Structure formats: structure tokens, C-alpha cells
Amino acid sequence: MSKIGKKIIKLPDQVKVTTENKVLRITGPKGELTVDLLPGIKVDVNAKEVSVQRTNELRSTRAYHGLIRSLIANSIEGVVNGYKKVLKLVGTGYRVAAKGQNLSLSVGFSHPVSVTPIAGINLSISGNNTIIIEGIDKQKVGQMSADIRAIKPPEPYKGKGIRYEDEVVKRKAGKTAVSS
């Protein structure tokens, strides 16, 4: 039995969970998310808790047991509190500016790079070198932050680039001068 899959998920008072046609619909104060249920997985919804069971012992069903439970728990957390990631631009002249819903990044290229948010994601800036990504879907928030970071990942020699707020970049030593 999956250690994660057999854990019971407690439902906060403001969250409503319904099941219809192999889709679990989770509604809360920040919005609504859906989780597609896979074959062999059964979800029991009570007034105060959600439990996930598997109906057979196939390898694929056992693999999806903990996954579905984690997706449901993340969706409940998202509709109650939401998710947030913070990116920092590190480097001389690296800055970000808001242009409507989009962001314009100046990160050392010959042209500014424009970033358009995914549906359901809110991009905001703090100062001129911090990007805040917020949303209720954990996967979308993580994907949007990874896409922005991929524009200019931090390099190991000077540490310049776009990094997560709590990311530590291991610095390498540069070339040493050869004396003769």
C-alpha cells in the first residue's frame, strides 16, 4: 500500500469537492480546479475528508495511487491559499518592467524579452529585479517560473542570470594566471 496514497486528506470548511464522470472538481475561495481520475483509482468524498483507494493491484494502478492523492491535496491547498514563486534577476543592468499583463525582461541580450503569462497565472514585479508568480494551480505556477528562469539561467562564474529567491548558485573559480 502506498504510504502517501493511504493518507486521509482533511477538507477545510470553505472547500467543496464533487465527483462527476471520472473528474474531481474542487471549489474554494480562490477558484476552482479539476483533477482527472485514472482507471483503478476510487475517491471517497465525505463531509470533512477525502480518501483515495485503488480497486486492483496492477502495477500502473499502484503507481498512480499516491500521485492522485498528491494532486488532490495540492488542488485543495491551491484553492484555499494559492501558490507563489519569487524570481530574482541578478546582474548589472538586469531589470524587469511590467507592460500590461506581460513582462519585459532586460537580461543582457541585444533586445528585451517579452513574457506572456499562462492563463490563470498572475505575474507582478517588486522593484526592478524581482518577479512574483502567483496562482492556484501548483503545476502552472512551477511551469511559468521554470519558463522565465530558462530565458537566462544563472551561470556559475559570475552568478548572473534569473534565479529562484532561495536558490544557491555554486560559484566556480575562473582561470588562474600562469606565471613563468
Decide if 42 is inside a domain.
yes
Domain with 110 in it: what CATH number? Answer: 3.90.930.12
Cell triple for 104: 519585459
Within a domain: 3: no
Whether residue 63 sits in one domain with residue 52: yes
pTM, two decimal places:
0.88
Other CB atoms closer than 10 Å to residue 58's CB: what's the count? 12
pLDDT score at 110: 95
In a domain, 69, yes or no: yes
Give the mean pLDDT per block of 10 residues along the chain (180 residues).
Answer: 85 92 93 93 91 91 92 95 96 93 93 94 94 96 96 93 93 77
State which residues form the domain around 69: 9-80
Residues 6 or more apart whose CB falls under 8 angstroms from that of 168 comprise none
Q: What pLDDT does 4 receive? A: 86
Same domain, 107 and 157: yes
Determine the pLDDT at residue 76.
95
Q: Domain check: are 104 and 159 in the same one?
A: yes
| pLDDT (0 to 100) of residue 1 | 61
Residue 175 in any domain: the answer is no
pLDDT at 174: 83
Task: Identify whether residues 72 and 91 lie together within a single domain.
Answer: no
Is 16 among the domain residues? Answer: yes
Q: How far apart are CA 44 and CA 41, in angstroms?
A: 10
User: Order of strands, edge to edge, in the sheet holding 16-20?
Assistant: 16-20, 23-28, 31-36
- What is the pLDDT, as a whole number, of residue 179? 65
For residue 151, being part of any structural domain is answered with yes
- Total domains, the chain: 2
pLDDT at 176: 79
The DSSP-derived string for 7-68 is SPEEPPTT-EEEEETTEEEEEETTEEEEEEPPTTEEEEE-SSEEEEEESS--HHHHHHHHHH
